[in-house]
Structure 1
Amino acid sequence: MDKLLFRRILMIALSVLAVVYAAYLLISTNFKMYPTENAVQTTVSDKIYSNGFIIRDENIIRNNTPGVLSYTVHDGDEVKAGGEIAKTYASDDDAASQSKISALQEQLTDLQTLQKTSTAGNIGIDTINNNINNNIILHIKSVNDGNLSDIDDVTNDLLYSINQRQIYTGKITNFNDRISELQSEITTLESKAGKSTGAITTEKAGYFLSHCDGYENALDYNNLDRLTVSDLENVKQTKVSDNVAGKVVSGLKWYVACKVTADEATRLSLWDGSATVLFSDASSESIPAVIKRIYQKTKNSDALLILECDYMNSDLAQARQEPIEIGLGTYTGLRISKKAIHDDYVTKTTYDENDNKHTEQVKVQGVYVLHGSEVRFRQISILYADDDYVICDPDPDSKELVNGTTVELYDRVILEGDDLYDGKVIN
């Protein structure tokens, strides 16, 4: 009796397993799940990252006059050809006194200017407050960066803005007492300071910089068309001589040389020539640039990219080797996963001059989308491609579309699946 019961139970269990397996096969065949992703609008920026080397028309100024230097211009100031950039003095004390006199004279000039206007003119209080905040930030940055050459200038600008606010708000009506103090202090210093023993001038006009880094003319500014990746990789820094008093950066145009990959070179060669460059360590804002040259030894090798720029400020004037971000534009469209893209045929319909209808099958790139339970194939027009996704034009020119249809916002795009075709019904 026990054996008979056991056999019946075993037979029932096997029958249930057979039914379950048959059901599984039926479901997997007729109710296959296709993962989907909605087509959503996205804006992306096409960027290339590299390390840039800045090339300028730099002219070194040498000092062959004995004595201690005291600069009469600031870093970033424009100087004329033959213009004075510094004086020499017999001692450190004399040079320091002259530097102090120059700083006091700047303060005096600023106060006299504010005194004459007596008000802030057309400048509003919000602008004045913004100037104060910006100058405080610049002062903190100069201290943190150890950029002592800029601190005096930034301090004077901050002091000017604060005094301007006091005039504007009526807290102070004049600066007569402070002007008298400055005039007296300047007179006292001038009576004690020694006379200048010489003057240093520049042969060329441009922007003056007191610091030289040893990379001046390491890459020939006038020979950029022959520059190679090897030249950039083997650039050498030279020792700055003791008699170097600074340099003048001439010309409006300066250049950034960097190495890019073969794929990046292809992208750049297809671009219209305009770009932006962000020097992450030297500036918080991108500046406009133009693609001047792309040089590749072979189509699969790294390339040398040279960008031309004409915007300059004091931070950029002192930069040399910087991490850079090259911007090639922004794209707005529908974000589609690359694994969802397929090649399939669509019907192209045309009419001849006699209004006779003609059709042909044309192979295009597109995606399968799920409309209810029906699969539809939609052609796509790619604006931008990344490693994992593409940005598609939601409204391409009708001439680009073979049958007039394309992927639309919020379409359920099928990411993967076998045996997909236009018109397939999924139960």
Structure 2
Amino acid sequence: MAETDKRRAFTTRIIWIVIGVFFLIMVISQMMIYFGTSVKTEVATLYMATESIGFKGVYVRDEKLVSYNANGIISYTHSDGSKVGKNAVIAQVYKNRSDIAVRQRISELESQRDVLTDAQALVGTDTSQLESFSNQITEKHSELLEDIYVKNYALASDLKSDILNLQSKREIVKGSISSYDTKLAEIDSEIARLRSQIATEPYDISIPETGYFISRVDGFEERLNTTTVFDLTEKDIEEIITAEEIQENPHGVIGKLVSDYTWYMAAVLDTIKLGTVFEGAQVTLRIGSSNQNVRADIVKLKRLDDGRSIAVFKCDMFLADFIDTRVTQAKLLLEDYSGIMIPNSALRMSDEDGSIGVYVQDGIVASFRKVRQILSREEYTLVEDTSEEKGYLSLYDNIIVEGRDLHEGKIIG
């Protein structure tokens, strides 16, 4: 009987302990719900940032208008930005559009003939080049797809011709085709037939010197050059930037010739943002939306009374993509920074010493971590990586970016 009472008492004690633990858990849970706060966190990761000044710049080059004296329809023989030699034919003037279409077809056939003639020269050679041809075709095909994707159709057309050339050579070396004689005869016959359809031979327009040809003009060619760029005022620069684009070349002007690959860029910049940048310094510019970086020299830096400065940059790097551009978006890259990027909404002031920092999630509580700022922007602040310092923010900490009434040791849900 006594033994039974002992067992009953032990069982009762266990039950009360379980009930007590359960009650304690319930109390803690309710306290966490009552005192805790739902928060949103972001992991602290390393970030690279570049301090820069964005601006609109005016390209200035030594440019000469190219004139012609003929009536008819113009067909250009070179794409914009092409380097042309002395006395090179840059365009032809036709009496009608049908002659242009026929001439273009003849040009296509002549290109095909050149490809097949080049391939036929390999008749009888060994097959050691087959693998090389196949690899080149695969490589060119990948480049072709990439150019089509980015809508660079001019390069895509050239690559298409390259692929045809390689395929023709591979077929000859492989022995699949013994000769292109029949095809070449057909092409010659078609060229002769088309030439007979041209009413009048075109009038050739040539240039007297070497340079980079551009078919479009904007009206500033005779006003802007590598000498007058140093005399431009802020009003001059703003006028050029806001000028309406000329839709057609003036009568008698077929384009312009850029004599050298050296170019200048004039711009009006915020003096305060320039900081310690000085005349004579070599800087990095990021041109247009292509994010192409170039090195340039600041050859003029004139500070104005209204808090702005006129800057003139000089660069010797040829930029084919911008050869026909007068005004472009650009950035002056000042300095590269590395650190932890924090949303400004996460920055807090310590209740203890007033230092700036953030709260991080440390288990189930909020804990304050100090930060050292590198630079601040409208939406974020870049701070140093202080992983090795006690009490400071570390990489991979869970930064609380959203939360109410945060304080050291607060329980967060």
Q: 1:107 to 1:276 in 2, by over 3 A?
A: same
Partner of 2:163: 161
Spell out the pairing of 1:368-379 with structure 2 (5 A cutoff): none
What is residue 42 of structure 1 aligned with on the other side? 46
* 1:62 Cα deviation after fit: 0.6
Do the aligned residues in 1 keep the contact of 2:283 with 2:332 (CA within 8 Å)? no
**Superposed CA RMSD:** 5.0
- In the other structure, the counterpart of 1:389 is 380
1:252 aligns with 2:261: yes
Q: Is the 8 A contact 1:50 1:324 kept in 2?
A: yes
Match of 1:222 in 2: 227
Structure 1: runs of 5+ lacking an equivalent: 1-30, 143-149, 347-364
When residues 121 and 329 of structure 1 are mapped into structure 2, their CA distance, relative to the original with a 3 A threshold, is: farther
**Distance in structure 1 (CA, Å) of the matches to 2:291 and 2:228:** 29
* 1:380 to partner: Cα distance: 2.6
> Is the contact made by 2:386 and 2:393 (CA closer than 8 Å) also made in structure 1?
no
Deviation readout 1:366-401 (Å, 9 max, x if unpaired): 64778989988857362x4322433233279x9xxx
Residue 308 of structure 1 is aligned with which of 304, 309, 315? 315
What is the correspondence of 1:340-419 to structure 2 with a 5 Å cutoff?
Answer: 340=347, 367=357, 380=372, 382=374, 384-394=375-385, 407-410=393-396
Deviations 1:399-427 (A, max 9, x none): xxxx9996532468799999x9xxx9999
Matched residue SS, 1:251: coil
Verify the 8 A CA contact 2:301 2:309 in the aligned structure 1: no
Aligned mates of 1:178, 1:395 — CA distance in 2: 73
Tell me which moved more, 62-71 or 205-214.
Answer: 62-71
* CA–CA separation in structure 1 for the residues paired with 2:390 and 2:310: 40
Q: Determine which of 212, 221, 234 is the counterpart of 2:239.
A: 234
For 1:195 and 1:204, how far apart are their aligned partners in 2? 28
**Structure 2 CA distance for partners of 1:168 and 1:258, relative to 1, 3 Å:** farther
Aligned counterpart in structure 2 of residue 297 of structure 1, from 298, 304, 311: 304
The CA deviation at 1:324 is: 4.4
CA 1:111 to 1:74, structure 2 compared with 1: closer, same or farther past 3 Å? farther
CA contact (8 A) 2:340 2:395 kept: yes
Q: Secondary structure at the match of 2:63?
A: strand
In 1, distance between residues paired with 2:349 and 2:214?
58
Matches of 1:90 and 1:376, distance apart in 2: 81
SS of the aligned residue for 1:273 comes to strand
Aligned partner letter, 1:297: L
TM-score by length of 1: 0.62
Q: Deviations over 1:93-136 (max 9, x none)?
A: 55554444333323322333344457678451430321332454
Cα distance 1:214–1:395, how it changes in 2: closer, same or farther (>3 A)?
same
Shift of 1:166: 6.2
Does structure 2 conserve the Cα–Cα contact (< 8 Å) formed by 1:228 and 1:304?
Answer: no
Relative contact order higher in (CA < 8 Å, ≥ 6 apart): 2
Is 1:206 matched up with 2:211? Answer: yes
CA contact (8 A) 2:48 2:337 kept: yes
Cα distance change on mapping 1:285 and 1:255 into 2, 3 Å: same
Q: How many residues align?
A: 357
Deviates more, 1:153-162 or 1:176-185: 153-162
Q: Deviations over 1:136-190 (max 9, x none)?
A: 446x665xxxxxxx5xx75454244245346547696354443322222223334
2-structure distance, mates of 1:260, 1:341? 34
User: 1:243 Cα shift?
Assistant: 0.9
| Whole-angstrom distance in 2 between the partners of 1:44 and 1:318 | 33
Structure 1 CA distance, aligned partners of 2:158 and 2:42? 57
Aligned identity (percent) is 20
Residues 330, 309 of structure 1: CA spacing in aligned structure 2 closer, same or farther, 3 A cutoff?
Answer: farther
| Structure 2: unaligned runs, 5 residues or longer | 1-34, 124-128
Assess, with a 3 A threshold, how the Cα gap between structure 1 residues 408 and 157 changes in structure 2: closer, same or farther. closer
SS at structure 1 position matched to 2:236: helix
Residue 219 (structure 1) shift: 3.4
Aligned twin of 2:90 = 85
Report the AA paired with residue 209 of structure 2: K
Aligned equivalents of 1:370, 1:323: Cα separation in 2:
40
Structure 2 vs 1, CA of residues 188 and 392 (structure 1 numbering), >3 Å: closer, same or farther?
Answer: same
